[in-house]
Each structure stands twice: as structure tokens, then as C-alpha cells.
Amino acid sequence: MTLVSINRAPIRDVLDYRFYMTNSRLRLVLQDEAGHQRVLRIRKDEYEDLGLEFSTYLMDRQQTCKNKCIFCFVDQMPKGMRESLYFKDDDSRMSFLFGNYITMTNLTDEDIRRIIQMHISPINVSVHTTNPQLRVRMMKNPQAAASLDYLRQLTQAGIKVNAQLVLCPGINDGPELERSLRDLAALGPNLESVACVPVGLTKFREGLEPLAPYDEKTACQVIEDIHRFSGAFFEEHGRRMVYPSDEFFLLASLPIPDGEYYGDYDQLENGVGLLALLREELISALRLSDAPQGLHREISLATGKAAGDWMRMLVGLVRERFPGLVCHVYSIENHFFGERITVAGLLTAQDLLGQLRGKPLGQELLLPGVMLRQDEDVFLDDMSLEEFRRQLGVGVRPVGNDGFELLSALLGHS
């Protein structure tokens, strides 16, 4: 059975369905496989869900990315991994429903009108640069230039936008970054925030455009450029608007700012403020904690190279309160994707096993939950958490990026 229309408005996908089903009085047209139609009239509370189920979540095929970005991580994946890891998503509906970032090169003028009519907000946009010619070069898509105007149309219509800039040394940083920030700021208050993220480079870049990684010096320069702009913006508007990702601070060997720096934490999904928020929550959890006296517990924690020292500092805060806790923190080198990849979320089970076997692990090993596939206990290289536990021979507990959950795991609470 197909849902044809609600109150005579055609239903193309989940956005149409969610928008038109909110009324209290509905006229539904359904059509069976033979083409016969049936009309249903329904009364319900306003915004009450109809409870219909569809064959796919979007009621349509998910739109794939038509770009060939010079920094695309999917293009840097080795062969032989699960099929879902090679899927390039660029679907505006996923941006609204799940916070995914889109490039807008898939959108049409009609799509923009629909977003404005339905007031789908916020929209998360991968901008990378506001220089039209440079955007075409970086994304290898002629639509990349014209689609920049959609930012103006959306923000002028009251749609909130969060922007992302994946920065590549010598390409879209420096003067080009300054230009992008000026152009984005000119869009007004509906441009809520901008995240600047360093390009991630794996060892699988054969045949791709040569790109350099950020080092301590170049990462410091990016942060300096961002702070020069955000400082002036803060003075005028009372907010920073643009933020370097946590990874930039770690690369530059600079302290992670306090939580106040990040405002409302608008860009957590881009790794902006994750570490500061974790520290804030852990300190709050410690103030409220009530662990048994005489705690004696030996455990271990594994993370990526980038956050190793940060996690040691956090564990140190806990040990000041609970000196009976012994926690071995291991920074894992990413041999699978290459040593330039230092974040925990891209570590594989094989690298963890290879570097943890024979090390003191204690009663339990704690792992960042981002190492596992969302909603599944499976690592990037398809090893299950159960098999990982069996091979390592110790209990393993995934922990979310939450200070209260981290403290509970460190102290052995269920």
C-alpha cells in the first residue's frame, strides 16, 4: 500500500509525511498495488503521530554524494571492508533528521523552496570555502559554485545553518579561510556556528591529489587565524561563531579551552568541544560521587594517539579523589589507516589487539564507544565486541563521551 497524499498534498518522502501529518484533521489517499485508491478521514490531536510504517525510513532512496572532494575520507578507504563504509551520504533529509552534513550540490531550487516552506531547521552544511572557483576545484563538481547561493536563501528565510570547513594546508586556510569566515559572517545571525576541522589523511591515497597533513606549526597558525576573527566577532556580537575542532588544539599542543569558550556546544558532532564537555561533566560527577571507602581497582583504558594525554589527565583527576584506582591508559597507534589518523573513532580491533596483548589490563578494559558501529557492537574491521573480548581475555566496557558515564566505568559501577 502506498500513501499518495495527505490533505491533497502529494507525499514524496518522510519530510512531506512529517510536515502534513501534524494537522488534527487529515484526508489520506492510499493506493494498492493494483492502482485502486482508498480515502481515509482521520481526526487526532495536533502533532500526534499517525503511526504509519514504511518500507524504508526515508520512504525513498537515500541520496548519494555527487562530489569527488580532494579530501574525501571514503576515497581513502582500503578495499575489502563492509559495503556501508563506502556509501557517501549527501541527503538534506538526513541533515534534518540526524544532523548529517550536506554539500547542497544535490539540491534544486524546488528543494530549497520546500525546506523554507516547511521551515526545516537547522541545516548542517559542508561549505569548505566560499570562493566559488576554489569550491569547484576542491569538490570537483561544477554545481559546487552555484549552490553556495543556497546559504544566502536559507539564512534570509530564517533557516538556522551550522557550517563545516574541512581545512587543507595551503588550499583553503590562510587568506582563503579569512575570506570564508567574512562571507559566512555576512549571512547574519541565522548562520549559527562554523566548525574548522583538519583534513584526515590515510595511507590509502594512491591516485588522489597530494595533500599535506597539519603539524604543530601549521595547526597553531590556523587557531591564531580563527581566534583573530572570532575575537573580533565576539566583541561585536557576543558570540564566537567559529571554532577550531579539538583535534586542532591537540595538533598544536595547545590547551583545550574551558567549557565557557564553546557557548552552546553547537558543533559537538564535528569534534568541537567534546573534550571540554567531558572534563566539565567528569568534574561535576566527582563532586556528586559516592564510592565505597577503600576502593581498590585496577583497570585499563585505550584511546587514539591524539587524546591519550588528555585521558591520562582526566584519570588523574579521579585518582586524586580515589587513590585506590589504578588505570593504565594506552594510546593506540593506527597502523590500519596510517599513523596520521589519531582519533579513537577510526581505530580497528586488530590494532587494539596487536598493541594491548601482553600489557597490564587489570579487571576491565574501557574503550570509547565511538570505536563501535552505531547501534551495533562491531568494530570498523567487522570484529564483534564479543570476539574481541574472547581474544583479549578480559572484560571490555564501551564508554560514551559522557563524564558521568566515564566516572561510573572507572569506579566499576554498573
Among candidate residues 270, 343, 349, the one with its CA nearest the CA of residue 308:
343
Cβ atoms 239, 233 nearer than 8 A: yes
Which residue type, as a one-letter code, is found at position 223?
A: I
The answer on pLDDT for 92 being more than 60 is no
Going 406 to 411 to 412 to 414, the CA torsion angle's sign is negative
Report the share of the chain in percent with pLDDT over 90.
67
| pLDDT at position 307 | 94
| pLDDT at position 306 | 93
Cell triple for 207: 591516485
Work out whether strand 2-6 and strand 9-10 pair parallel, antiparallel, or are unpaired.
Answer: antiparallel
Among candidate residues 314, 313, 344, 312, the one with its CA nearest the CA of residue 328:
312
Domain of residue 316, CATH code:
3.40.50
Claim to verify: residue 321 and residue 368 sit in the same structural domain:
yes
Claim to verify: residue 116 and residue 2 sit in the same structural domain:
no
Query: Among 83-97, 230-244, 371-385, where is mean pLDDT lowest?
Result: 83-97
| pLDDT at position 371 | 95
Claim to verify: residue 225 and residue 367 sit in the same structural domain:
no
Claim to verify: residue 219 and residue 81 sit in the same structural domain:
yes
Per-residue confidence band for 47, with pLDDT thresholds at 50, 70 and 90: confident
Per the domain annotation, does 66 fall within a domain?
A: no
In a 13 Å sphere around the CA of 147, the CA atoms on its Cβ side amount to 24
The mean pLDDT of 8-26, rounded to a whole number, is: 79
Claim to verify: residue 158 and residue 261 sit in the same structural domain:
yes
Per the domain annotation, does 54 fall within a domain?
A: yes
| pLDDT at position 345 | 92
- How many CB atoms neighbour CB 130 within 10 A? 22
The neighbouring-strand residues paired with 161 are 123, 191
Summary mean pLDDT of the chain: 90
Cis, peptide link before residue 142, omega less than 30° from 0: no
| pLDDT at position 63 | 59
Euclidean distance between CA atoms 46 and 135, whole angstroms: 43
| pLDDT at position 370 | 94
| pLDDT at position 29 | 87
The mean pLDDT of 290-315, rounded to a whole number, is: 90
Euclidean distance between CA atoms 401 and 231, whole angstroms: 28
Claim to verify: residue 373 and residue 292 sit in the same structural domain:
yes
Claim to verify: residue 313 and residue 394 sit in the same structural domain:
yes
Query: Among 51-55, 244-248, 381-385, 387-391, where is mean pLDDT lowest?
Result: 51-55
Which residue type, as a one-letter code, is found at position 19?
A: F
pLDDT digits (tens, 9 = 90+) for 311-359: 999 999 999 999 999 999 999 999 999 999 999 999 999 999 999 999 9
The mean pLDDT of 224-231, rounded to a whole number, is: 97
Domain of residue 179, CATH code:
3.80.30
The answer on pLDDT for 93 being more than 60 is no
Q: What is the DSSP letter of 278?
A: H
| pLDDT at position 125 | 93
- Give the chain's radius of gyration (CA, Å): 24
Cβ atoms 226, 244 nearer than 8 A: yes
Among candidate residues 337, 83, 333, the one with its CA nearest the CA of residue 204:
337
Claim to verify: residue 248 and residue 178 sit in the same structural domain:
yes
DSSP H or E run through 27? strand 25-31
Per-residue confidence band for 94, with pLDDT thresholds at 50, 70 and 90: low
The answer on pLDDT for 243 being more than 70 is yes
Between 82 and 141, whose confidence is greater? 141
Per the domain annotation, does 359 fall within a domain?
A: yes
Claim to verify: residue 259 and residue 288 sit in the same structural domain:
no
Q: At CB < 8 A and 24+ separation, what contacts does 351-359 make?
A: 352/302, 352/379, 352/388, 352/392, 353/388, 353/391, 353/392, 355/330, 356/300, 356/302, 356/330, 356/332, 356/392, 357/392, 359/300, 359/328, 359/330
The answer on pLDDT for 64 being more than 80 is no
Euclidean distance between CA atoms 230 and 239, whole angstroms: 8
Tell me the residue range of the domain where 13 lies: 1-61
Claim to verify: residue 194 and residue 136 sit in the same structural domain:
yes
The answer on pLDDT for 214 being more than 70 is yes
Cβ atoms 409, 401 nearer than 8 A: no
Claim to verify: residue 173 and residue 259 sit in the same structural domain:
yes
Among candidate residues 166, 157, 172, 158, the one with its CA nearest the CA of residue 72:
166
Number of domains the chain contains: 3
pTM comes to 0.85
Claim to verify: residue 249 and residue 386 sit in the same structural domain:
no
Measure the CA angle with vertex 210, ends 164 and 345; round to 5°: 50
Tell the burial category of 356 from Cβ atoms under 10 Å away from its Cβ (0-12, 13-18, 19+).
buried
Between 19 and 242, whose confidence is greater? 242
Per-residue confidence band for 98, with pLDDT thresholds at 50, 70 and 90: low
Distances (CA, A) of 183 to 130, 235, 271, 371: 7, 18, 23, 36
